Amino acid sequence: MNFRNKKHKLLEISLTPMIDVVFLLLIFFMVTTTFSKNTIIKVILPQAEGQPVEQQKQILTLTIDKSGQYFIDDISLGDKSLDTLEKALTAYKGNKNIPLIINSDASAPVQAAISVLDVASKIGFKNITFATQK
């Protein structure tokens, strides 16, 4: 009979899998969480009740009519393409601090206004507003 004491290996608890799971849960909750207080937004455009924006000496006015045609300072752009709009806005690229005011018809396609915002922000305009009426 062999009554020798067997040496037992010490049990080790590996924390690496638990840290990985916690990290993945953290990433999941960060991605799926919304950080806005209002989830339902009711928008009625172009009418609004608000304070008028103070007039500045230089402004750039971009108008969108109901068919989606673009006008910069009442001068019609040749077509509705985004390349033409980007070239026209790039001409004002030197002074990005001038406000860009978007006058959009109430029945104009929303995609036209979103495209203007996308192109203007890509060029570097920082002061972009929509014109509304009371």
Mean pLDDT of 41-48: 43
Cβ contacts of residue 56 below 8 Å, gap of 6+?
98, 99
Pair of tokens at residue 77: 């752009």
Per-residue model confidence (pLDDT) at position 75: 76
Q: What is the mean pLDDT of the chain?
A: 75
* Contact (Cβ atoms closer than 8 angstroms) between residue 77 and residue 67: no
Length of the chain: 134
60-130: what fold?
A: Nucleotidyltransferase; domain 5 (3.30.420)
pLDDT digits (tens, 9 = 90+) for 62-112: 888 777 788 887 777 877 788 888 888 887 766 667 888 888 877 777 888
Per-residue model confidence (pLDDT) at position 43: 35
* Contact (Cβ atoms closer than 8 angstroms) between residue 93 and residue 11: no
* Contact (Cβ atoms closer than 8 angstroms) between residue 100 and residue 58: no
Its pTM stands at 0.55
- First-to-last C-alpha distance (Å) of the chain: 101
